[in-house]
């Protein structure tokens, strides 16, 4: 099976993050890592390859610095990578990014596209759906389990209430949550091997996309302002003067926990 995993480099969600003056993600002052959910997608791709054979390709759209994350992804075990890099991409919205990804995916003709269900920077969860639309393939999103039987894919789709079982034939795109597996660590051998794995560089020109379709110029949405999350407040202190239980229950009720 020809599997492509979408891997996005994001600022480490465990560290301080901010936006640049143009409201794009500030990469320079943050520590950049593989989007956490994408590691689960990589693991799932590797497991499918181990069980059914095939090839795993990492596809990344991002600036030059994203190479670090590509090498890290490759050190987990994928066979090769494609890196779409073009200065004109700076400031691209989800629609434009999907266009670029779709164009790159057409060159790779995958049977299965795997991605994280969301990225920790944007958190909009729309790219897998947009890709399905652009490529005319099925979207099985939010998977907590994926079973491959020949060309038939069965997914347990995680919802707030439980899960839905959905199926589709390949080619399809499956986005995964962190409940699906436990990603492996890169092995030391994998780290050495990753140095020699091919990384194909593509520009917008290679994909037949013009600069004004992407970046700030082609953006369909605009960030007008951003604010830091307000600092945590001290919270309410409940003193038990015989009615602590009642106070606790009314607090839980006010927060709609009960």
Partner 1 sequence: MSKVFSRRDLDFLLYEWLDAEALTARERFAEHSRETFDAFLDVSQQIAERDFAPHNRTGDLNEPTFDGETVTIIPEVSRALRVFAESGLIAAGFPAEHGGLQLPHVVQRACFLWFQAANTGTSAYAMLTAGNAHLLLAHGTDEQISRYVHPMLEGRFTGTMCLSEPQAGSSLSDVATKAVRQDDGTYRINGGKMWISGGDHELSENIIHLVLARVEGAPAGVKGLSLFIVPKKRLDTGERNGVVLAGLNHKMGYRGTTNTVLAFDDAIGELVGEEGRGLAYMFHMMNEARIGVGSGAVALGYTGYLHALAYARERLQGRPVGDKDPAAPPVPIVTHPDVRRMLLASKSYVEGGLALVLYAAKLLDEPSPENDLLLDVLTPIVKAWPSQWCRLADDHAIQVHGGYGYTREYPVEQFYRDNRLNSIHEGTDGIQALDLLGRKVTMKGGAGLALLLDRIIATADKTPDLGGPVKKAADRLAATTATLWAGGDAEKALVNATAYLDAAGHLVIAWMWLEQRRAAEGKEGAFYEGKRLAAQYFVTHELPRIGPLLDLLDSGDTLLRDMDDAWLG
Binding site for partner 1 (CB under 8 A): 71-72, 75, 184-189, 191-192, 195
Q: How far is the CB of 191 from partner 1 (least distance, A)?
A: 4
Q: How far is the CB of 186 from partner 1 (least distance, A)?
A: 6
Strand partners, 82: 59, 200
Dist CA 141 CA 55 (whole Å): 22
Q: How far is the CB of 184 from partner 1 (least distance, A)?
A: 8
Q: For partner 1, give the closer residue by CB, 185 or 251.
A: 185
User: Is residue 138 a contact partner of residue 126, using CB atoms and an 8 Å limit?
Assistant: no
Q: For partner 1, give the closer residue by CB, 193 or 219.
A: 193
Strand partners, 168: 153
| Tokens at 111, concatenated | 């049977």
Q: How far is the CB of 126 from partner 1 (least distance, A)?
A: 30
Q: How far is the CB of 48 from partner 1 (least distance, A)?
A: 19
Q: For partner 1, give the closer residue by CB, 178 or 206.
A: 178
By residue count, the chain amounts to 258
Q: How far is the CB of 187 from partner 1 (least distance, A)?
A: 5
Q: For partner 1, give the closer residue by CB, 54 or 186.
A: 186
User: Is residue 256 a contact partner of residue 129, using CB atoms and an 8 Å limit?
Assistant: no
Contacting residues for 135 by C-beta, under 8 A, at least 6 apart: 102, 105, 106, 113, 171, 173
- How much helix, strand and coil, in percent to the nearest 5, is found in the chain? 30, 25, 45
CA 214 to chain CA centroid, nearest Å: 19
| Tokens at 150, concatenated | 């020949």
Q: How far is CA 127 from CA 93, 108, 118, 246, in A?
A: 10, 18, 8, 46
Q: For partner 1, give the closer residue by CB, 182 or 255.
A: 182
Dist CA 42 CA 176 (whole Å): 10
CB atoms within 10 A of CB 81: 25
Q: For partner 1, give the closer residue by CB, 15 or 249.
A: 15
Q: For partner 1, give the closer residue by CB, 69 or 175.
A: 69
Dist CA 216 CA 222 (whole Å): 8
Q: How far is the CB of 180 from partner 1 (least distance, A)?
A: 18
For 141, the enclosing helix (H) or strand (E) is: strand 138-149
């Amino acid at each position: 099976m020809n599997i492509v995993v979408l891997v996005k480099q994001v600022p480490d969600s465990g560290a301080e993050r901010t936006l640049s003056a143009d409201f794009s993600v500030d990469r320079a002052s943050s520590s950049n890592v593989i989007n956490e959910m994408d590691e689960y997608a990589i693991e799932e791709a590797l497991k499918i390859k181990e069980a059914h054979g095939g090839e795993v390709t990492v596809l990344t759209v991002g600036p030059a610095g994203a190479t670090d994350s590509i090498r890290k992804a490759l050190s987990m075990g994928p066979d090769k990578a494609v890196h779409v890099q073009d200065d004109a991409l700076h400031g691209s919205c989800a629609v434009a990014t999907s266009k670029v990804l779709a164009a790159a995916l057409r060159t790779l003709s995958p049977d299965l596209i795997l991605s994280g269900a969301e990225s920790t920077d944007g958190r909009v969860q729309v790219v897998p759906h947009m890709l399905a639309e652009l490529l005319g393939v099925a979207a099985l999103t939010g998977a907590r389990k994926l079973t491959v039987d020949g060309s038939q894919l069965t997914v347990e789709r995680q919802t707030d209430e439980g899960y839905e079982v959905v199926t589709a034939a390949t080619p399809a795109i499956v986005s995964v949550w962190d409940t699906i597996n436990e990603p492996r660590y890169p092995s030391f051998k994998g780290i050495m091997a990753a140095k020699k794995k091919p990384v194909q560089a593509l520009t917008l020109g290679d994909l037949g996309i013009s600069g004004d379709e992407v970046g700030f110029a082609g953006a369909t949405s605009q960030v007008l302002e951003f604010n830091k999350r307000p600092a945590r407040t001290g919270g309410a202190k409940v003193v038990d003067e015989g009615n602590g239980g009642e106070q606790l229950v009314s607090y839980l009720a006010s927060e709609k926990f009960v």
